[in-house]
Amino acid sequence: MSSSRTSTPDAEAAAVAVFTALADPTRRALLAELAAHGPATATDLADRLPISRQAIAKHLGLLSEAGLVAGVPGERRRVRYRLQAKPIAVAQGFLAALATDWDDRLQALRGHLDDRP
């Protein structure tokens, strides 16, 4: 990104954590499931997806570290996970700035090509 749009180190780290978490198809499936059906426990998700409960718990931990989900303790030590929007907004901001940089470069190239004889 250009220096005029450089994000803060915290925002950059948050974007990296989000993109790293989203790189895995299983984690994307878990997020999609939570988005479609609301908060759920690891056991609920294991009942709905072809993934073991242990694997789901591991992936939910990584999603939680990235800030994409938050666990809310419930009855009998069951944790319900729900989506968190703020990290997605940080990643969207990163992508929007990147897109603007590309738009600026493409516009400069278009101007250069239009000026050619």
In this structure, is residue 1 part of a structural domain?
no
Q: Record the tokens describing residue 103, joined without a space.
A: 């738009």
Give the domain CATH number at 100. 1.10.10.10
Q: What is the pLDDT of residue 91?
A: 81
Residue 75 confidence (pLDDT): 80
Domain for residue 2, yes or no?
no
Residue 49 located in a structural domain: yes
Structural Rg of the chain based on CA atoms: 19
Instruction: Extract long-range pairs of 104-113: CB within 8 Å, 24+ residues apart.
Output: 104/2
Per-residue pLDDT of the chain (117 residues; tens, 9 = 90+): 443 445 677 877 888 899 999 999 999 999 999 999 999 999 999 999 999 999 999 999 999 999 999 999 888 888 999 999 888 888 888 888 888 877 677 777 787 788 777
How many separate domains does the chain show? 1
CA distance 83 to 30: 10
**C-alpha angle 91-68-13 in degrees, rounded to nearest 5:** 45
pLDDT of residue 71: 94
Contacts 24+ apart (CB under 8 A), 84-89: 87/14, 87/17, 87/18, 88/18
Q: What is the pLDDT of residue 3?
A: 39
